[in-house]
Amino acid sequence: MTTAARPALSVLIDTYNHERYIEQAVVSAIEQDFPASEYEIVVVDDGSTDRTPEIVAKFAPRVRLLRKRNGGQASAFNAAVPELRGEIIALLDGDDWFAPGKLTAVATALEQNPEAGAVSHGFYEFHQETSERNLRVPERREFFSLATPETARLSTTYWPFLIIGALTVRRGVLQRIVPIPEVLVFCADGPIAWSAMASGTLVFQDALCYYRHHEANLHTVDAKSRERLRRKSEMLEVMFQQIEQMLPRIGVSKQAMLASFYPWWVVVRRQKLRSLGGDRLEAFRTEMLSFRSQYQNPSIAYRLFKYVTLGAAASLLSPRQFYALWEWYGRQKPMHFPDSLRIKG
């Protein structure tokens, strides 16, 4: 008996109750121009209660279905990663889909750039209600990592392109962070993206996947959906806490974190405090974190000035009042903030 050759690449599709979309995701992986014998397709179903498993099963044996009890996105990744056979892993959410030529492009990029632990690329945002497509691509091709503060700062530009569907990683990027803490019932792609950046990531401009906005995913919440917005904000906070613990373990320095990771955390906390409110101490701590990430060696006088002025403002004003004043100041003196995170749920 001969043993089947080990595939070079694995496509991992994570899904939960995606009966309306999962067939398009699977077909987009099957119809790639990459040699069929050189890649496998694995779908991990996180305990769907709709027809998702039935639809995926139609594609056996070309597609392997892993079923598990519902536990959230992190638990789905943890269950699936040990089952994958490829040395390269292309990730896809069950409600998104690949563009033609995706697998050939990412495999070629990794082959030509052995220093990269991951590659990612542009994408289309597809709005289910209107069928509108918006092109999202980086301004230029770029390789960056978290090895130094200088290269780490590029994360403020390129993290938004490391979405599931665009991100392809070498096996080691996942192996060094699995198991992902299963408290991340969604947002579990955050640790994967930061592990990819720590390993070195090449981002290029081709738009090779479609990111679907629909009523059930968390990126579609608006200011009126306060409960969903609060749930998303709480999970984002947990995600940042988990990544903060993870990065030093995988060799990222404090200086690189101050240049890349903490500014993102500040952005997300400010968004939460502006939209949902919070306590004054949380606003003060957020601005102190921002100050430390911007000024790593400030003078004692300037440090005291910041603590006193921010402390006074944060203690006298509610977070919403504080950030209304902050926004007014920003209009007088334009400031740059990174784009909001795109998080599926």
User: For the ranges 39-53, 137-151, 269-283, which has the lowest average pLDDT?
Assistant: 269-283
- Asked if residue 340 belongs to a domain, the reply is no
Domain that holds residue 246: 226-332
- Whether 189 shows a pLDDT value over 90: the answer reads yes
Let me know whether 44 and 125 are in one domain.
Answer: yes
* Residue 170 tokens, joined: 């070498």
Q: Give the span between the Cα atoms of 1 and 94, in whole angstroms.
A: 35
- Whether 305 shows a pLDDT value over 70: the answer reads no
Let me know whether 30 and 109 are in one domain.
Answer: yes
User: What's the number of domains the chain is made of?
Assistant: 2
- Asked if residue 338 belongs to a domain, the reply is no
- Asked if residue 337 belongs to a domain, the reply is no
Let me know whether 174 and 241 are in one domain.
Answer: no
Let me know whether 201 and 70 are in one domain.
Answer: yes
Let me know whether 110 and 148 are in one domain.
Answer: yes
Let me know whether 156 and 207 are in one domain.
Answer: yes
The model carries a pTM of 0.88
Let me know whether 312 and 327 are in one domain.
Answer: yes
- Asked if residue 58 belongs to a domain, the reply is yes
- Asked if residue 327 belongs to a domain, the reply is yes
Domain boundary (220, 237, 258) is at 220
Domain boundary (168, 190, 220) is at 220
Let me know whether 190 and 235 are in one domain.
Answer: no
Q: What is the CATH number of the domain that holds 187?
A: 3.90.550.10
Let me know whether 45 and 108 are in one domain.
Answer: yes
Let me know whether 242 and 94 are in one domain.
Answer: no
278 — pLDDT class (breaks 50, 70, 90): confident
- Whether 166 shows a pLDDT value over 80: the answer reads yes
User: For the ranges 21-35, 101-115, 228-242, which has the lowest average pLDDT?
Assistant: 228-242
Q: Give the span between the Cα atoms of 236 and 14, in whole angstroms.
A: 19
Dump strand ranges (E) for 154-257.
Answer: 168-170, 201-213
- Asked if residue 326 belongs to a domain, the reply is yes
8 Å CB contact between 161 and 138? yes
- Asked if residue 79 belongs to a domain, the reply is yes
307 — pLDDT class (breaks 50, 70, 90): low
- Asked if residue 339 belongs to a domain, the reply is no
Let me know whether 213 and 146 are in one domain.
Answer: yes
Q: Give the span between the Cα atoms of 316 and 251, in whole angstroms.
A: 40
**pLDDT tens-digit series, residues 190-217:** 999 999 999 999 999 999 999 999 877 6
8 Å CB contact between 147 and 117? no
Let me know whether 34 and 134 are in one domain.
Answer: yes
Domain boundary (220, 249, 284) is at 220
